[in-house]
A and B are shown apart, each in its own frame.
Chain A
Amino acid sequence: MERPAASPSSDERPRRRASGDRVRTAVLRPEFGVLLAAVVLYVFFAAVAGGKGFLTQDATAGWLGSAAEIGIVALGASCLLIAGEFDLSIGSMVGAGSAVMGIGVGHYGLSIWVCVAIAALLAIAVGLTNAFLTLRTGLPSFIVTLAMMLAVVGASLGMGRLLTGTTNLTVPSDGVAHVVFGGSFGALSSTVFWWFGLGALIAWMLRRTVFGNWTYAVGGDIDAATTNGVPVARVKASLFVLSSLCATLVGVLQTVQFSSGDATRGADFVFSAVAAAVIGGVLLSGGYGTVTGIMIGGLTYGIVNIGVFYTGWSTDWTSLFLGALVLLAVLANDYFRKLALAAGKK
């Protein structure tokens, strides 16, 4: 990040804070690019598939729901990315969350609440194990969590078959538990509310708390964080746990919503959540990302996912769309970041 030393002496520089600067700062926010992409895509699908139902309440609830599921996983995974670590076990944790609900509620008849607590404990244990292995061995989290992903998939399927003879169980629910985890309000599923609630909470955490400051510092420059006394290991461990918890939550929500616990669920999330994060402006190298961006990234993903379906084209094209989008996003992020860093200089 070195640049030629060319700035005029600081004392001679005129002090100038025009109001135009504010507009420029807003436009220079990396989220601006994502927002633009989301709007353009929405308009595109509205034009192409508007007549085929893309603008109906059902379709809207559909892409919001899709965005919410991906978005919740992306929120957790992104915080960890900001701190400079990967979590590839998120997809498998969606399946594990679903398996716990299937085995516990579907097979043993435990209450939803008890099983949610068990799933949460499992997520915490997996997150802590990821953190422990990464921080102790010094191996890249990419490798550690890849191994964890395989192990969790295996364990979820194995435990399911061992205890219940199947990997797919019916999960009945009613009362408050059903409303909280699988209910719908109008056309919107409770998942959408979870997404917004978590988004608000994590936005507050990242922007307003000391822990948020440490998260950015750990991913931005680990040496600077360490020498300034930031408890680097504790920050990373907490975020590994958060990532695991968010993914497991989506497994729980899907299970209650569809009344079925399925250990094979969720494998795609490792791609879609990371893609949503990147589209939303999170730097894979760590140190940068905002909740606004991540949430718009999720929305964009949802719009494309459902939009292509309504066009009537083969859904094979969805992937192509998303691939191009991720590529564009990475390039745009890089560009916007450079602009932002250049803003204070001449």
Chain B
Amino acid sequence: MTTVPKLEMRHISKTFPGVRALEDISLSAYAGETLCLLGDNGAGKSTLIKTMSGVHTPSSGEILIDGEVVRFDGPHAARTAGLSTVHQYGGTVPLMSVARNFFLGAEPKKGVVPFRRFDERTANTIAVRELQAMGIRRVTDGRQLAGTLSGGERQALSIARAMHFGAQVLILDEPTSALGVKESSETLKLIMRAKDRGVAVVFITHNAQHALAVGDRFVVLIQGRVAASFTRGEKTKSELLNLMAGGEEFEDMEEEIEAMRRAKEVARHA
């Protein structure tokens, strides 16, 4: 892969009044790779991606795109620079059609001024084509309501939309946490497709298995600090789980639970 990261954060800190949410975070995301951000609830994952995508400004440190320092004064500036964030529920409107959702806020138009209108035919064609390209074959009519899609399909809609509008960095905040097993695996496949197309994917999760399935680089956050940073193949799942649990031995916990279960069984037989 290229040596210059698509997106780099250097020594980023973020303090809210009374709370030190992020401290001295450095990380890099490369084109065609997936960077996994892991951490327990409250570790600072959401704050980190909000800082990355222009929602928050960092208290100190710098952000670089293609090796150049950038300063976003809002989410719009980040979007213009090619960063696209997809939220947990995909940010779709259920009672609107797939195509209308796909082009929301960037509708193709036709006609002259007083009669200028939404070019629905073009929107339908492109939306269906892009969804098919992301492997969502079930959608063959752009007029289908977005609310009829499964959770995973709605994620696909948002991801396809981001990529159609030229996203170079795709930031996914816990996309799998509200999904079932089957839908989660569909979303993981989407992540693979996005990085195959040369996008730098930043995948936030607290599921070690999901991270290991698609990740190329991993950053584990604990209480706003980078607790570990490593690449694919350097750590096993149990090592990763131990890291995320804050250094406590996860196996110990498993043993304790096992002991409790046995004690209960003994009590039942007595």
- Give the interface of A toward B (CB within 8 A): 1-7, 9-11, 13, 15, 17, 204, 208-210, 212-214, 216-217, 220-221, 223-225, 227-230, 283, 287-288, 337, 340-345
Contacts and interface: CB of A to CB of B under 8 A. Distances in A.
Contacts, number: 115
B269 interface: no
A221 B158 CA distance: 14
8 contacts: A1-B94, A1-B147, A17-B141, A210-B107, A228-B105, A230-B105, A341-B95, A343-B148
Contact of A10 (B100, B153, B181): B153
A229 B76 contact: yes
A221 B109 contact: no
Given A209-B117, A213-B118, A229-B105, A5 B147 contact: no
Given A15-B140, A213-B100, A341-B145, A288 B95 contact: yes
B92 A209 contact: no
A7 B147 contact: no
A217 B96 CA distance: 7
Nearest to B103: A213
A208 B115 CA distance: 9
Contact of A220 (B93, B149, B180): B93
Nearest to B185: A9
Given A4-B180, A227-B87, A342-B148, 13 more contacts: A10-B153, A15-B137, A214-B104, A214-B105, A217-B104, A220-B93, A221-B91, A224-B91, A224-B101, A227-B75, A229-B79, A288-B95, A341-B147
A11 B105 contact: no
A208 B182 CA distance: 37
Contacts of A3: 150
Contacts of B19: none
A345 to B, nearest CB: 6
B178 interface: yes
A5 B151 contact: yes
The 3 closest A-B pairs by CB, nearest first: A344-B148, A5-B180, A228-B105
Contacts of B149: 344
Contacts of A343: 145, 148
Given A341-B148, A342-B148, A2 B178 contact: yes
Contacts of A5: 150-152, 179-183
Contacts of B223: none
Interface string B62-102: 00000000000001100100000101000111111000110
B96 A13 contact: no
Interface SS, A side:
loop
B144 interface: yes
Contacts of B135: 10-11
B158 to A, nearest CB: 9
A227 B141 CA distance: 25
A197 B85 CA distance: 43
Interface of B: 75-76, 79, 85, 87, 91-96, 100-101, 103-107, 109, 116-118, 120, 135-138, 140-141, 144-145, 147-153, 178-183, 186
Contacts of A11: 135, 137
A281 to B, nearest CB: 12
A225 B85 CA distance: 14
B182 A216 contact: no
Nearest to A15: B140
Nearest to A212: B118
A337 B148 CA distance: 11
A93 to B, nearest CB: 27
B4 to A, nearest CB: 29
Given A210-B117, A217-B96, A220-B96, A225 B104 contact: yes
Contacts of A208: 117-118, 120
Given A10-B135, A230-B104, A344-B145, A17 B140 contact: yes
Given A10-B153, A228-B105, A210 B118 contact: yes
Contacts of B179: 5
B93 A221 contact: yes
Given A2-B151, A212-B118, A228-B105, A217 B145 contact: no
Contacts of B101: 224
A2 B138 CA distance: 19
B145 A340 contact: yes
Given A10-B135, A340-B145, A210 B94 contact: no
A115 B117 CA distance: 33
Contacts of B116: 209
A10 B186 contact: yes
Contacts of A13: 137-138
A213 B107 contact: yes
A105 B152 CA distance: 62
A221 B100 contact: no
Contacts of A216: 93, 95-96, 100
